[in-house]
Structure 1
């Protein structure tokens, strides 16, 4: 499992368009937005047939996304190799 949390900076007048675009990207979900600061909180989760890295790239390359910051990332890959 791979999960990432992103903060997207955009002009508030483009929030609706960005949310619509993000709905079409696999594993992407918009959780909140602040029109006063121009920030959106987005999560990306991997799934069958796509990787979080591809979805993160699609979020950051979306038209009207001014910047994207990776706020949190989690993976459980390789955990079975760790000793207690």
Structure 2
């Protein structure tokens, strides 16, 4: 399991469009913040490099000012999580 979260700062007037663009990336979810232009984003994927590459691509989205990683977890899923699937 490889998960990280980030804050994506966007121009408030286009933050809704930025949100829609970010949600097109595989493994990406936006959890709010468009009203303030500070999008709360989680990424899930395989390997650190893939997530880093995806986050770097966020800055190529029109209207994005910058992206800041807040949290990163890389490890095996706990046994109790596997039972829940």
| TM-score (norm. length: structure 2) | 0.74
TM-score normalized with structure 1 length: 0.75
Runs of at least 5 residues in structure 2 that lack an aligned partner in the other structure: 77-85
Quote the offset at 1:54 in angstroms: 2.4
> Tell me, which stretches of 5 or more residues in structure 1 are unaligned?
78-84
What is the alpha-carbon root mean square deviation over aligned residues? 1.9
Secondary structure, counterpart of 1:61 in structure 2: coil
Q: Which runs of 4+ in 1 moved over 6 A?
A: none
| Count of residue pairs brought into register by the alignment | 74
What are the residue-to-residue correspondences of 1:41-60 with 2, within 5 Å? 41-47=40-46, 51-60=50-59
